[in-house]
Amino acid sequence: MTSPSLVGKNARRFAAPSVIPGFGLTFGYTLIYLGVIVLFPLATLIWWSSGLGFSGLYAIASEPRVAASLRTTFFISFAAAVVDLFFGLIVAWVLTRYDFPGRRLLDAFVDLPFALPTAVAGISLAALYSPNGWFGAPLADYDIKIAFTRWGILVALIFIGLPFVVRTVQPIISELEAELEEASATLGAGRLQTVIRVMLPPLAPALLTGFALAFARSIGEYGSVIFIAGNIAYVSEIAPLLIVVKLEQYDVPGATGIATIMLAISFAALLLINLVQAWSRRFGHV
Amino acid sequence: MSDMSEMSEIAVASSGRGVKFRPVTQDSSFARYTLIATAVLFLALFLFAPLAIVFVEAFSKGIGHFLTAFDDPDARAAIRLTLLVAAIAVPANLVFGLAASWSIAKFSFPGKSVLITLIDLPFSVSPVVAGLVYVLVFGGQGLFGPWLAAHGVQIIFAVPGIVLATIFVTFPFVARELIPLMEEQGKIEEEAALTLGASGFKTFLTVTLPNIKWGLLYGVLLCNARAMGEFGAVSVVSGHIRGLTNTIPLQVEILYNEYNNVAAFALAVLLAGLALVTLGLKTFLEWRHADALFGRARRH
């Protein structure tokens, strides 16, 4: 494996020597394609926003309409991720631990928000919750308005984020060791006590990861929200929509500023996920 | 799952004298039914209902009205454009996925995990921001804008921009399925083939490709579904020119905003159908070829 002739042949010693050919070609193509499609355009965004500087970014973020949209996006995304955390855990638990007719179908359907184009989700949620829709009409009798209010945004983001929690938690639930439950029961714990004190703690890192994924996705979500949100400035206008609005007004610096702030939030969420996973590996959970 | 059914068999066997014992690892039936009911109700309200209403609305005025929606030349142009965009974006990311996974899984080199993180990057970028970055590069006020305008090349508000934005948002799909799969499979089989005298390309075709074909198909399916359904990124770079730069999702938006509900939902039926087919095939692959997909980290 370490014969000198191979070392020279394979991409100038950058990669460990191997008899397998094609490193230079595939690695080079990977870097060029990644650079052209992803890194260069993102670098352009960073370059534009560095032209704005921190004071420029701060000025954009503190524009009342921008600040309102960032608050709306942030807090409703957080609330949606909390709802997804709770119901996602129940759905994952039910799909993994119980057997009942239709379980497989239900399991497959959890991925629907990944597969259904966001614009379709948007118009169908708007139709469901509008004052004459299936859910909107009965709720209107109680003076509850969902569509075209902040609640509509919440509903759309709950839809979008659910699979992230379910799919992150499911594999960990199925790996829970029966021995631990049995030991806990043998030592006198009630079922509820076993679930809360023995079975849920190992799920915590996965739950937190699922939560952060759902939250990060919600921050950037556009298609499913704009149809149901009503998009009232200062009230139910999300940050991604404001980017579009600013672009339509040829306010490229404004759009760039909002985009940079959103990128920072989603990268912070990503960093959190990596920290959680590193932390949970250290303590032996997956 | 199999553990559970064994448990319940034991439970049945030991409950011979009319006393029902529940294994300590099983929840009480009250808890079980409550949780199942909660999950089913939640999924029905939040997942089934939005899917069902697409079809209900599309056929609300009968099948005739539904079909009329497809006579509209703008709708047909949108369908053609969507197919064209997917026909470019999916193969482009397929080739990239193969190249990336080959170099990452079959070789060791410094900075590999950084590279994998960078490949996943587009998933953590908002679709709207994905569209915006191309406007910043190719748009009128963008980096290359003046040069492109001087040479009469239009990328933003034209098909090339739509293709680029779609490639961006679907960038990781194939690669992220293949990288863990090929890392799992190692390189022993390839080394054997090469030692026995096969060329590199032949090794790829006859050894690697059969090993990864189901994972590859899985990645392509997800990539295609997203490519055809992408809205945010495409919306920013499209310019919404009817019959020219509207994909199906954008056409759905326009029709919906014009209160042309039946036509909007008729086109949405195409996309919902695509989503259902994708889910069906995906579930089939996970069920039938679980081994061949093994090793992939399940996150989207």
User: How many whole angstroms separate alpha carbon B191 and alpha carbon B197?
Assistant: 10
Question: What is the CB neighbour count within 10 angstroms for residue B161?
Answer: 25
Does position B220 have pLDDT exceeding 50, yes or no? yes
Q: Compare all CA atoms of chain A with the CA of B300 and give the residue at the minimum distance.
A: A164
Q: Do A20 and B42 touch (CB under 8 A)?
A: no
Does position B156 have pLDDT exceeding 60, yes or no? yes
- Which of B8, B21, B36 to probe the A interface (max A CBs under 10 A)? B36
As for how many domains chain A has, the answer is 1
The candidate with the shortest Cα–Cα distance to B186, out of B207, B164, B156, B215, is B207
Kindly report the CATH class assigned to B62-293. mainly alpha
Interface of A with B in 177-196 (CB under 8 A): 178, 181-182, 185-186, 191, 194-195
- Determine contact: B48 vs chain A, CB below 8 A: yes
pLDDT of res. B294: 59
- Residue A176's domain spans which residues? 54-282
User: For the domain that residue A241 is a member of, what is the CATH number?
Assistant: 1.10.3720.10
The candidate with the shortest Cα–Cα distance to A78, out of A191, A154, A174, A177, is A154
Decide if A144 is inside a domain: yes
Does position A171 have pLDDT exceeding 60, yes or no? yes
In chain A, which residues have their Cβ closer than 8 Å to the Cβ of B205? none
Q: Do A128 and B53 touch (CB under 8 A)?
A: yes
In which band, very low, low, confident or very high, does the pLDDT at B17 lie, cut at 50, 70 and 90?
low
- CA of A243: how far to CAs of A212, A257, B42, in Å? 23, 9, 33
* Tens of pLDDT, residues B164-190: 999 999 999 999 999 999 999 889 999
Which tokens in the block code for residue B7?
A: 């448990």
Interface of B with A in 167-206 (CB under 8 A): 167-168, 171, 187, 190-191, 194-195, 200, 203-204
- Determine contact: A78 vs chain B, CB below 8 A: no
* Tens of pLDDT, residues A51-77: 888 999 999 999 999 999 999 999 999
Give, for A242, the enclosing helix (H) or strand (E). Answer: helix A239-248
In chain B, which residues have their Cβ closer than 8 Å to the Cβ of A183? none
The candidate with the shortest Cα–Cα distance to A160, out of A205, A220, A102, is A220
Q: Do B275 and A240 touch (CB under 8 A)?
A: no
% chain A with pLDDT above 70: 94
Decide if A66 is inside a domain: yes
Closest in A117, A164, A174 to B275, CB measured: A117
User: How many whole angstroms separate alpha carbon A122 and alpha carbon A241?
Assistant: 14
Which tokens in the block code for residue B235?
A: 């919306």
Q: What is the pTM of this model?
A: 0.90
In which band, very low, low, confident or very high, does the pLDDT at B100 lie, cut at 50, 70 and 90?
very high
Decide if A43 is inside a domain: no
In which band, very low, low, confident or very high, does the pLDDT at A17 lie, cut at 50, 70 and 90?
confident
The candidate with the shortest Cα–Cα distance to B157, out of B257, B258, B255, B246, is B246
In the DSSP assignment, the letter for residue B123 is G
Q: Do A16 and B164 touch (CB under 8 A)?
A: no
B139: left (phi over 0), alpha (psi -120 to 50) or beta: beta
What contacts A266, CB < 8 A, 6 or more positions away?
A216, A219, A220, B124, B125, B126
First to last CA, chain A: 34
- Determine contact: A97 vs chain B, CB below 8 A: yes
* Tens of pLDDT, residues A206-253: 999 999 999 999 999 999 999 999 899 899 999 999 999 999 999 999
The candidate with the shortest Cα–Cα distance to A52, out of A252, A282, A204, A213, is A252
pLDDT of res. B45: 94
Which is more confidently placed, A3 or B163? Answer: B163
Alpha helices in chain B (DSSP H): 2-14, 29-43, 49-58, 62-68, 73-106, 112-120, 127-138, 145-150, 159-169, 172-185, 188-195, 200-203, 209-229, 232-238, 248-257, 261-288, 290-293
The vertex-B168 CA angle with B166 and B172, nearest 5°, equals 110
- Determine contact: A270 vs chain B, CB below 8 A: yes
